[in-house]
Amino acid sequence: MHLATSPAFKQNARRALADPGLQKALARSGTSFIARRAAAAAALPEFEQLRDIARDIKDHTLAHLDFYLEEYEARMKAAGGTVHWCATADEARSAVLEICRTAGARTVTKGKSMISEELSLNEHLEQHGIQPVETDLGEYILQLRHEVPSHILAPAFHLNREDWEAQFRASHTELPADRIFHERRDILTEARARLRQRFLAADVGITGANFLIAETGSSVIVTNEGNGDLTQTLPRVHIVLGSIEKIVPTIEDCTSLLRVLARSATGQDFSVYTTFSTGARRPGDLDGPDGYHVVLVDNGRSAMLGTEFQDMLRCIRCAACMNHCPVYGAVGGHAYGWVYPGPMGSVLTPALIGVDQAGLLPNASTFCGKCESVCPVKIPLPGLMRHWREREFERHLTPPVQRRNLALWGWFARRPAMYRVVTRAAAASLGWFGRQRGRFARLPMAGGWTAGRDLPAPEGDTFFARYARAQRRGRVG
Amino acid sequence: MSRDAVLASIRRGLRRGPLPDDIAAALRGRLAAHPRHLIPARSMLAHAEQVTLFIANVEKEFGTVTRVPDMDAVPDAVADYLASQNLPGELVMAPHPELRSIEWSVRPLLRVREGRATPNDAVSLQHAFAGIAETGTLMLPSSPERPTTLNVLAETEVVLLRASRIVGAYEDAWDLLRAEIGAMPRNVMLVTGPSRSADIEQTLELGAHGPRRLHVVVVGQ
């Protein structure tokens, strides 16, 4: 597995804040996803109701997950496919390698799959003499750059156009070095031509799965590029990497989730290609793979059932939470140090690799609540991050200074009269000192906080005082 | 065995053993009945308006559409479209009975080959099973008569769709598929516009790995 750099989140974040290329990319992309999602949601009057439905479908499925997985397996086998149940990442890597070896595979094309990142599958295949080729445009350049995705939807979110041009010049040496990329489209066209031969030469195609359908035994992928379809149609063998929580009962359930997925993700009404695969080539078919395998991965998910983190298993990987997150927007995805960045990663990563490794992530949140407000399956992300903070505290993983400060705050909070005196004094003095500029660029003992931003000055009053005054005047609001 | 380990871990989390028979039977009933959820009102229209909505949505997603009155008009529509795009009059066609019954010889310069697509095919002609007005989406199930490669390999995909096969919502198209084809085909593609990518600076560019152009010929009323 990729060595997680999540324990170094603070150093990662500091480096990210000082990286001009990354900051340029974040500034450019920051608002476009937000505007597109808002427009798509506004154009569908039923959108909010559909979010409730999506949440309920996922909750129903998770409550009967064992049943639906067995039903799915039975239908899929009947359609001529093979299921490989894998409890751990190790088992999943071995299963994929074994299928590739049996197929005599030398090269493998791949559609975008975060499970594959979770398994570090590319390294594993390379170590065993099999060449993986990423075909999603963003994944393709990251493979050339030996980087990992910084976003679950747009893997190359952190790159700028000049990075693309430089990398293509460095990697595609058979083309004239002085060629000019007039527009972004020229970059895309070059990648298309390069990958075309790879698609045709591959022995095995590996895709992820956005959904697995129990009713029909189908796997579903959602893409815009068409690379996933070329990956699963042209080679002799198609391998689907799907984790256990991707299961949904019926096509109708899947359809309802699809209605909120693309709108939440890219702001499209529907993605370009939504493809349902059910087994291998049938008699008379002129194309399609001869073999169809589903590697069904648990890797820590079943252990989340029945805990306060079960709701996280509703996630359909739309990335709306990270697109709307001020922390992600400031430091980008790599700072989070493992496969899943942003708010969903801050909840999922501690569950999958341990809170001792990833305990800083749920702390890297302002709890502004934007992520929860846009989540298509209504995962209470800030609440779940708070649960991780509690666990971290209980297990004494919180740093001593923080524990001492929390204890100090707790001592005051349990003595309301004294709490009010102290906060009133603090608000009044900060308000007085900050009355000129309205904010502080620097504060004693808060240098770490104010290095990246200003602290707004209080207006001289506490909330308690204002509330009491308003109540006396007979209006609260 | 990992299968048992995963299932046992799930049941441990859910604090129960395998589901009791009555609950399992109820869930099997739900799978068999596959009930619909809320369907957006936007596609609940008279059929003629669904056709209009379908076309508007295809065009919104950067596809193009020609309407023709009957199958006899298809060769002209296809040949004229290819000419308008400066494309050669050569295509690979799905061996679907409806496409095979078309009198292609009325456009002698159009060279039509039947079969699956190869990397050398610049233009493909596919036969759509249904059109979904809700988002301008084509339903393209695989079968010997509808090879999947026609949907992904050629730079230009032309799709023939009978107007009578345009429905409102996705659920309507799935019901058609269940009624007419029965078992789930090996592959069902729902296609909405030509391929695209926004991976470079989150800016949309058409023409990623799939077709750069998607043209729908809608036949009849």
CATH number at residue A239: 3.40.50.10420
Considering the entire predicted model, what is its pTM?
0.94
The answer to the question of residue A229 being in a domain is yes
A290/A425 same-domain check: no
Phi and psi (nearest 5°) for A273?
Answer: -120, 115
Both B17 and B120 in one domain: the answer is: no
Helices A251-265 and A20-42 pack at an angle, to 10 degrees, of 130
- pLDDT per residue as tens digits for the range A80-122: 999 999 999 999 999 999 999 999 999 999 999 999 999 999 9
Task: Using the predicted structure, report yes or no on whether residue B202 has a pLDDT greater than 90.
Answer: no
For the cut 90, the answer to whether the pLDDT of residue A137 exceeds it is yes
- Measured CA to CA, the distance from residue B216 to residue B68 in angstroms comes to 11
Task: Please check whether residues B88 and B187 belong to one and the same domain.
Answer: yes
Quote the CA–CA distance of B58 and B138 in Å, as a whole number: 9
For the stretch A343-376, pLDDT in tens is 999 999 999 999 999 999 999 999 999 999 999 9
Grouping H, G, I as helix, E, B as strand and the rest as coil, residue A417 is helix
Q: What is the pLDDT of residue A2?
A: 60
Number of domains in chain B: 2
Q: Which of A177-186, A211-220, A420-429, B209-218 shows the lowest per-residue confidence on average (mean pLDDT)?
A: A420-429
> Are A288 and A432 within one domain?
no
Quote the number of domains for chain A: 2
Q: What is the DSSP letter of B89?
A: S
Interface test with B, best of A147, A252, A261, A322 (most B CBs within 10 A): A252
Q: What is the pLDDT of residue A325?
A: 96
Among the candidates A238, A268, A299, a domain finishes at A299
Residues A97 and A220 in one domain: yes
Specify whether B53 is located in the same domain as B121. yes
pLDDT in the model for residue A443: 78
pLDDT at position A475, please? 65
Please write the tens of the pLDDT for every residue from A191-223.
999 999 999 999 999 999 999 999 999 999 999
What integer best gives the mean pLDDT of chain B? 97
Q: Do residue B160 and residue B214 come from a single domain?
A: yes
Q: Find residues 100-139 of chain B whose CB sits inside 8 Å of chain A.
A: 115-116, 119, 134-135, 137
For residue B116, CA distances in Å to A251, B25, B41, B121, B144 come to 28, 43, 38, 10, 9
Q: What share of chain B is helix, strand, coil (3-state, %, to 5)?
A: 35, 25, 40
Residue A391 lies in a domain: no
Express each pLDDT in A140-173 by its tens digit. Answer: 999 999 999 999 999 999 999 999 999 999 999 9
Chain B partners of A255 at a C-beta cutoff of 8 Å?
37, 170-171, 174
How confident is the model over B166-185, as pLDDT tens digits? Answer: 999 999 999 999 999 999 99
Residue A219 is assigned to a structural domain of this protein: yes
CA distance A331 to A5: 14
Residue of A nearest to B11 (CA): A66
> Cβ–Cβ of B148/A250 closer than 8 Å?
no
Location of structure tokens 């570090």? A120
Reading the block at residue A115, the tokens are 């499970």
Do B24 and B49 share a domain, yes or no? no
Please check whether residue A304 lies inside any domain of the structure: no
pLDDT at A463: 84
Q: What is the average per-residue pLDDT within B46-73?
A: 98
Mean pLDDT, all residues of chain A: 94
Are residue B70 and residue B7 in the same domain, yes or no? no
Provide φ and ψ at B220, rounded to 5°: 85, -170
If asked whether residues B182 and B120 sit together in one domain, one would say yes
Percent of chain A with pLDDT over 90: 80
The answer to whether the Cα torsion of A263, A267, A272, A273 is positive or negative is: negative
At A442 the pLDDT is: 80
* CATH classification at residue B146: 3.40.50.10420
Residues B13 and B101 in one domain: no
- What does the pLDDT read at residue A476? 53
pLDDT at A1 over 60: no
User: Quick check: B208 and A192 CB within 8 A?
Assistant: yes
Do residues B196 and B94 share a domain?
A: yes
Clarify whether residues B105 and B58 are in a common domain. yes
Q: Could you report the per-residue pLDDT of A263-322, keeping only the tens digit for each? A: 999 999 999 999 999 999 999 999 999 999 999 999 999 999 999 999 999 999 999 999
Q: How confident is the model at residue A243 (pLDDT cuts 50, 70, 90)?
A: very high
Confidence band of A187 (pLDDT split at 50, 70, 90): very high
Report d(CA A412, CA A420) in Å as an integer.
9
Rounded distance between C-alpha atoms, residue A253 and residue A263, angstroms: 17
CA separation for the pair A471, A466 (Å, rounded):
9
CA distance A51 to B165: 30
Q: Does A462 fall in a domain?
A: yes
**Inter-residue contact A243 to A299 (CB < 8 Å):** yes
Confidence (pLDDT) at A58: 98
Would you say A141 and A156 are in contact if contact means Cβ atoms under 8 Å apart?
yes
Co-location of B62 and B26 in the same domain: no
What pLDDT sits at residue A393? 86
Q: How far is A134 from chain B (nearest CA, A)?
A: 13
Residue A30 has pLDDT above 80, yes or no: no
> What is the Cα gyration radius of chain A?
25
Confidence band, pLDDT 50/70/90 cuts, at residue B54? very high
CB of A366 closer than 8 Å to CB of A325 = no
Q: Which one of A283, A299, A315 terminates a domain?
A: A299
State whether B7 and B52 are in the same domain. no
Q: Which of A188, A252, A275 sits opposite B208 (nearest CB)?
A: A188
* Residue ranges making up the domain that contains B113: 44-219
Q: Are residues A291 and A425 in the same domain?
A: no
**Assigned domain for A138 exists:** yes
Distance from CA of A312 to the nearest CA of B (A): 14
Nearest CB to B202; choose among A32, A268, A278: A32
Query: Which tens digits make up the pLDDT trace of A439-455?
Result: 888 877 777 777 777 88
B14 touching chain A per CB within 8 A: yes
Q: Which of A264, A299, A334 is the last residue of a domain?
A: A299
Residue A416 lies in a domain: yes
**Contacts of residue B188, Cβ cutoff 8 Å, sequence gap at least 6:** A218, A275, A276, A278, B139, B140, B141, B142, B177
Q: B146: which DSSP letter?
A: B
* Same-domain pairing of A289 and A408: no
Residue A436 is assigned to a structural domain of this protein: yes
Domain that holds residue A231: 44-299
Residue range A430-440, pLDDT digits in tens:
888 888 788 88
